[in-house]
Amino acid sequence: MAKAYVLLKVIPGYERNIVQALKDISEIEEIDELYVEWDMSSKVSVEKREDLEALLSEKMRKIGGVTLTSTMIVAEYKY
């Protein structure tokens, strides 16, 4: 299992539509709207790291109103 946090910049006024579209993506576990440089944050979980590319390029970045994403992959350290 691979986990990541994806930050999104969006066009003002598109927030509600984007949240609805993100809710339809099964790999997304959590969505938050932010009041900082980035407009939204989402927590995602996929089977393999390689699946992140498909999630980002084929689903998240194609949502109308999303202008930029930044992905932070969670480290898989074993303690």
Q: What DSSP string describes the chain?
A: -EEEEEEEEE-TT-HHHHHHHHHT-TTEEEEEE-SSSSSEEEEEEESSTHHHHHIIIIIITTSTTEEEEEEEEPP----
Q: 0.85 cut: is pTM over it?
A: yes
Low-confidence ranges of the chain (pLDDT < 70): none
**What structural domains and CATH numbers belong to the chain?**
2-73 (3.30.70.920)
Tell me, what's the pLDDT at 58?
95
pLDDT of residue 17: 97
